[in-house]
Amino acid sequence: MANVQWPNKQFLVLLLGTVVLYLFECEMTVRAEPMKLRQAIEIVQNRNPDIRNYENQIQSIEAKARQTLAPSTPFFSLTYNDMLSALTPGGAASTVLQLTQPLGFPGKAFLSYSAIRAQADGLRSQLRATQLGVATSVKTAYYQLALAKRNIELNHAQRDAYERILAIAKRRYEAGSITQVDFLNSEVTLYSNFNDLADLNASEVAARAQLNVLLGNSSDAELETEPFHAVLPPLRNRVEALDQMTRNRPEVRAATFQTEVTGQNHKLAWMSGLPDFQFTVGTTFYNIPGASPVNLSDAGYINHTFLAMVQLTVPLWFFFNERESIVSTSHDQAAAEANLNSVLNQSKIAFETTIRILEALRNKIENYEKHLLPLSEQSFLLALTNYTYGKIDFGTLAITALTRRNSQRDYFVAVTSYLINYAVFGQLLGEDL
């Protein structure tokens, strides 16, 4: 009986560990769920520095707005009058205590508050525009990655078709019904498809790297998207959508708030010609009775008196000092209004361009779904059958197979373009569609 030499324990442990690791990796691969589009958008928005910048600017300017309503700082004064010698308060004839509260002309503080609040609202609109822009960028990268993966799947399906064609060509060549040229051409077609696959893999790597960079991952990290579904969101009513864009597009709202800010600043420049006030209350203690200016015949000198005073700061040189401020703010307001009109015009042009593209793509996609895709599939199957029985040559079959592949590819390209342009359309409307 032959002696059987069993592997040593170290080898068995290593083999067992390798098997366990392989099973674990397989389980992780099975359990790995594709990243949802909404999840990708949230991740990118949470780490975007421009969004963080606007959020902090808004908090800062809101604090400044609240500060405009705070009252001016009062000041207190203590005066020793008629001292017998320098720096001897104890020998002063009288001691004066006063409290003064400055107050601006009524309405100035609220106007400043309104102007800064409008500026904060403008920043919120810019923040919203940035959020929508980030979402559109993520959607574009996500859809392009999904398209790249779908093209690879189509290439695999096309490879299966070419392998069927090669098998048929081989049988017919062996039977002597076709020439060697046709048989070699079928092989060339199959191997050309492998070259196409290399290009598609490179496109998938580039699309995945783009999305990974947005997500903050390593550019070569594995990333799965949800399966490609050719489900088209519906178009909006043109008139309603245009009205919504005019009212809700963040860029338009930001320009509108900027116009409001410059208008408030122009009013403030004019209000600088109005007087400001100071209210003062005080009391005086006369340490020497004879120093008191009040002498009552029946009670003698009064050694404790009170003071109440209102002061006006009249801007007599208003037109010399503030004229240029008024001129400057008037031009700022005119510039803001011109910018608002420019943003509206650009928005309308972008709206019309985008909605025309969406309508054209939708018609193209419907034509693919109703006619081109089923016809190209039927044509390929018929051509494959006819080639099997020698009714058509290999060139006709190859063209039919390529037409089928191009129809499928162009269909998914059109769907991806529609989804990307629909994201731009939502960005114009101020919605994350």
* The predicted structure's pLDDT at residue 106: 83
- Each domain of the chain, given as residue ranges in start order, spans 80-429
The CATH label, of 1.20.1600.10, 3.40.50.2300, 1.20.1440.120, 3.50.50.60, for the domain at 80-429 is 1.20.1600.10
97 - beta bridge partners?
78, 283
* Residue 233, token pair as written in the block: 């969101």
pLDDT tens string, the chain, 433 residues long: the values are: 444 444 455 544 454 555 545 554 554 444 458 889 999 999 999 999 999 999 999 999 999 999 888 888 899 999 998 888 888 888 888 999 999 999 888 888 899 999 999 999 999 999 999 999 999 999 999 999 999 999 999 999 999 999 999 999 899 888 888 888 888 888 899 889 889 999 999 999 999 999 999 999 998 889 888 877 777 888 889 999 999 999 999 999 999 999 999 999 999 988 888 888 899 999 999 888 777 887 776 667 788 889 999 998 888 888 777 888 889 999 999 999 999 999 999 999 999 999 999 999 999 999 999 999 999 999 999 999 999 888 988 889 999 999 999 999 999 999 999 999 999 999 999 988 7
- In angstroms, the CA 100 to CA 281 distance is 7
Question: pTM (2 decimals)?
Answer: 0.80
β pairing state of 295-296 and 304-313? unpaired
Q: Note whether 116 and 269 are within 8 A (CB).
A: no
Q: Residue 400: which H helix or E strand, with range?
A: helix 394-429
CB proximity list for 210: less than 8 A, separation 6 or greater: 141, 144, 145
Give the CA radius of gyration of the chain.
Answer: 41
Exposed/middle/buried for 280, CB within 10 Å: 0-12, 13-18, 19+?
Answer: middle
Residues in the chain: 433
- In angstroms, the CA 333 to CA 298 distance is 68
- In angstroms, the CA 73 to CA 104 distance is 12
